[in-house]
Amino acid sequence: MNPDTSLHVDLRQMILAIETAVSLVGMNDTNHGKRVAFIASQLGHQLGWGEEDLEYLFELGLLHDCGVSTEQMHAGLVNHFDWEEADLHCQIGYRLLSSFQPLSRYAVPVLHHHTRWDEYPKEGVGARETRMANLIFLADRIDVVAAPHYGVDILLAREGVLATIEQYTGHYFAPEFIEAFRRLQRFEAFWIALEDRHVTRYTWDMGARARRETLSLEQLKQLSLILAYIVDQKSPFTAEHSLRVADLSRYLATTLNLSPVQCDKIEIAALLHDLGKLHTPDQVLEKPGPLSDIERAIMNQHSFETYEILRHIEGLGDVARWAAFHHEGVNGGGYPFHPSERDLSIEARIVAVADIFQALVQARPYRPGMTLSEVLDLLDAKVTAGQLDARVVSIAKRHACECFEIAKGNDAQYNHPYTDFSSPEPVSQ
């Protein structure tokens, strides 16, 4: 692809990428969002809703948990039918979506997707948004109750799932929605379709249906900033890491006189480079000492996960590679793809240097942040070992003070911290 060609990315493919990334937090269950989308759209079909509403429900189901970044939060949501802290991820999701115009129409239902049916009269939510949110709440809880039985004994357990859900008729869920579920659960095909291999295929088939709504390069950058925020909230030790790597990558690319569009795309790749870390266990990311061989092997999978999330998005093939190659060495070492030196583009080399530079500057659970001289010594050692590109490192050294301040978030030109999407302040509608 010509690097100077503007991108126009399909919005639904990006929604699928968001769901794929966020669902990685589930560790051993990475299809919750897909199943909620499927269940909700099937319930809508039982209710006789039109195609536009079914499409909306499907995408809302994919996005409903976009405020979840940590294993602890995910565990609370799946281990309790009505978790008292569930509202936090609803508030975060609301702020994330309402800040991005192409997805803002999903913000209010996401905010209320754990609101009980009998509480809506005092919430002041519109009729359509109320129905959408409550149907997603129902689909979400159906999946939580049924999940242990998929691929095991779901056809035997379905009546028990129905009995559990029916207890909440009227106060948690609209009675007509429960009636739709009673009809739907009779079909074996509905339950079988929720198994991983089937629901994944269904979701990607839906993704292949062009939405005819595309994102500009600027919108893609804005959405990438939101995704970077979700990743960086996984651990306090990685707060703003993706953002600062993106800032430093753009600075290095600009200094190397790459085109403005290349600089934009490098910035996007850097914002997205650690998406795969959402599938890294929290205890591994926050371990205060050296990783064991098993823990290191787990950590080394995150770059591949990043590639798998991004490579399905038409038009982002080069960005996916630049993001996923951030731990590859010029000498063919590193991980996980081991590209040849010829296949390791200048864009990927820039992101790799920026990633290491920022990670060294940032305090981690096993060490404090390093001084500038310590960072430069380590970069030199990695060039000597054939791991980092000598030209990019020389630019970083030539502008060492500027790079250091950018990496720390102290450079005024690049000082644009994340919006505090997790602010406890009340949400206004």
Task: Express each pLDDT in 72-115 by its tens digit.
Answer: 898 899 889 999 999 999 999 999 999 999 999 999 999 999 99
pTM for the whole structure: 0.91
CA distance 26 to 39: 18
pLDDT in tens, 322-342: 999 999 999 999 999 999 988
Q: How confident is residue 207, by pLDDT bands cut at 50, 70 and 90?
A: confident
Cα angle for residues 312, 108, 115 (degrees, 5° grid): 110
In 3-state terms, what secondary structure has residue 169? Answer: strand
- Report the range of poorest mean pLDDT among 31-45, 168-182, 226-240: 226-240
Q: What is the pLDDT of residue 414?
A: 67
pLDDT grade, residue 282 (50/70/90)? confident
Residue 243 has pLDDT above 70, yes or no: yes
> Locate tokens 């905010």: which residue?
111
260-271 pLDDT per residue, tens: 999 999 999 999
The CA distances from residue 106 to 128, 134, 314, 322, in Å, are 11, 13, 23, 31
Interval 138-166: pLDDT, tens: 999 999 999 999 999 999 999 999 999 99
167, 142 contact by CB (below 8 A): no
Share of the chain above pLDDT 90, in %: 76
Q: What is the pLDDT of residue 152?
A: 94
CATH topology of domain 9-208: Hypothetical protein af1432 (1.10.3210)
Q: Which segments of the chain belong to CATH 1.10.3210.10?
A: 9-208, 218-414
Confidence of residue 6 (pLDDT cuts 50, 70, 90): low
- Give the range among 115-129, 209-223, 359-373 with minimum mean pLDDT: 209-223
Identify the bridge partners of residue 10 per DSSP, sorted by sequence position.
214
- Digit-coded pLDDT (tens) for 288-302: 888 999 999 999 999
The pLDDT score that the predictor gives to residue 2 is 42
Alpha carbon distances (Å) from 164 to 31, 68, 182: 22, 25, 12
- Band (pLDDT 50/70/90 cuts) for residue 314 is confident
- Which stretches does DSSP call E strand in 15-74? none
Q: What is the pLDDT of residue 172?
A: 98
pLDDT at 416: 59
Say yes or no to pLDDT of 3 above 50. no
More confident position, 349 or 317: 349
List b or e across 146-169, with b for residues whose CB sees 16 or more CB atoms inside 10 angstroms.
bbebbeeebeebbeebbebbeebb
pLDDT tens, residue by residue, 371-414: 999 999 999 999 999 999 999 999 999 999 999 999 998 876 76
Distance CA 286, CA 397 (A): 30
Average pLDDT, integer, range 32-59: 96
CA-CA distances (angstroms) from residue 2 to 192, 262, 265, 313, 372? 44, 10, 12, 17, 36
Superfamily (CATH) of domain 218-414: Hypothetical protein af1432 (1.10.3210.10)
Give the pLDDT score at 419: 57
Lowest average pLDDT, out of 35-39, 122-126, 315-319, 365-369, goes to: 365-369
